[in-house]
Amino acid sequence: MTKPEIKVAIIALALIGFACLFLSQRKNSLGQPGLVVESQSLTNEAGATVASRRIALPSNIPGYYDELLPITDKEVEVLPKDTIFGRRLYDVGRNVKVQVSAILMGSDRTSIHKPYYCVTGQGWRIDKTEVVKVPMARPVPYELEAQLLTTTKAYKRPDGSIGHARGLFMYWYVSENQLTPHHKEQMWWLARDLLTTGVLQRWAYISCFSICAPGEENIRLEQMKRLAGDTIPAFQIPPGKAQQTAFLDTAPSLR
């Protein structure tokens, strides 16, 4: 984190603290989520149910194979109890896989954190950071801006030599009526809304992750963008289109 980012983070946290103190004298409310939640269970690595609700990441999309992925015990232990998760693996063709994850906060803002720490904590070195644009055609045309981390990780081949894999990590933040690729902007908006309106917006962050060989980054990014365009309309409410409720009993269908 750079010095300007640290400064913004400190200011945002101070504002949140002040807002919490100031607004403790009046009744606050939670905003509506910008993601669709379904009443379906999630399991951990051992197959035990760890949640009764999840983000409605779509399944059975024409042209894709998909698999529901577990939530780790560490995530359940570390993040607040009212955090809602979603995780699914999509095969976009020729055994190219993209993991899509979503984390939605409840009344505790600490559910939402900067993904940098998760990426580097898994052994990936961040080589490049940039904002990319993902064109969305449904349900209304708009341009989704996402943060893209291009990363590298060394691994040992069967013959003992060292190879290098490239990882593309694309993510963004969304609330009821707001969308941003920047963590510091998300923190500022959360503090601003809490202070000025008494509403704690239920922020979430969505991520798409895929591994490829060096030199295949551009092709893989386009595959990830295409997957995003085909899946996001099923579970993310576009800006300015917030619904009265974002909770479903079953997952929506794209067919």
pLDDT at site 114: 84
114 contacts 183 by C-beta, under 8 angstroms: yes
Backbone φ and ψ for 22, nearest 5 degrees, come out as -65, -40
What is the residue range of 117's domain? 3-235
Residue 214 included in any domain: yes
pLDDT tens by residue, the chain, 255 residues: 566 666 656 666 666 565 555 545 556 799 999 999 999 999 999 999 999 999 999 999 999 999 999 999 999 999 999 999 999 999 998 889 999 999 999 999 899 988 888 899 899 999 999 999 999 998 888 999 999 999 999 999 999 999 999 999 999 999 998 999 999 999 999 999 998 999 999 999 999 999 999 999 999 999 999 999 999 999 998 766 554 445 444 433 332
Q: Quote the DSSP letter at residue 110.
A: G
pLDDT at site 20: 55
Which are the contacts of 90, defined by CB distance < 8 A and separation ≥ 6?
61, 64, 65, 66, 97, 98, 99, 100, 227, 231
pLDDT at site 147: 97
Residue 53 included in any domain: yes
Q: Rounded distance, CA 232 to CA 238, Å?
A: 9
pLDDT at site 218: 97
Residue 252 included in any domain: no
Residue 59 included in any domain: yes
Residue 38 included in any domain: yes
pLDDT at site 17: 61
Number of domains present in the structure of the chain: 1
Residue 253 included in any domain: no
C-alpha radius of gyration, the chain, whole number: 19
Q: For residue 55, give the nearest of 176, 187, 234 by alpha carbon.
A: 234
